[in-house]
Amino acid sequence: MNVEERTEHARTRITKLVFPQDTNPIGTLYGGTAMKWMDEVAFLTATRFARRQVVTVSMDRVDFKTPIPRGNIVELIGEVTRVGNTSVTVTVSILREDPLSGDQELAIQGELVMVAVDEKMQPVRVLPEG
């Protein structure tokens, strides 16, 4: 499978509902909860791309564009946007969706760098040689 096919196959989409326990005192999604969800989607995306164990090494510039109220549906989309020797960069977008109207808008976006590691936690090539 070439890099383009791997990238397409690795795209990950997860849908969640924002419950009261996910929100802050003003009823919007906690930033930390959003970042946890983003890390999970980045892990799944990178694993599906590399078919190796991966770990998070950085989360770069997370932009919180609009609040996500309790009761909204969120769709997290992970896409591989850069491939290095031992790392992949995954861009994760969170779309908020009004459950009644279906209107969606980009609410949060960030980049996470995931590194492929061996059983000793040493970096290894993301893609097989060749």
pLDDT band at residue 60 under the 50/70/90 scheme: confident
Q: Does the domain formed by 3-116 have CATH 3.20.20.20?
A: no
Q: What is the pLDDT of residues 63-105, one digit of tens each?
A: 999 999 999 999 999 999 999 999 999 999 999 999 999 999 9
Write down the pTM of the prediction: 0.94
- 3 state SS of 45: helix
What is the average pLDDT across 13-39? 97
Cα–Cα distance, 75 to 7 (Å, whole number)? 19
- Output the pLDDT for position 23: 97
Q: What is the pLDDT of residues 107-128, one digit of tens each?
A: 999 999 999 999 999 999 998 7
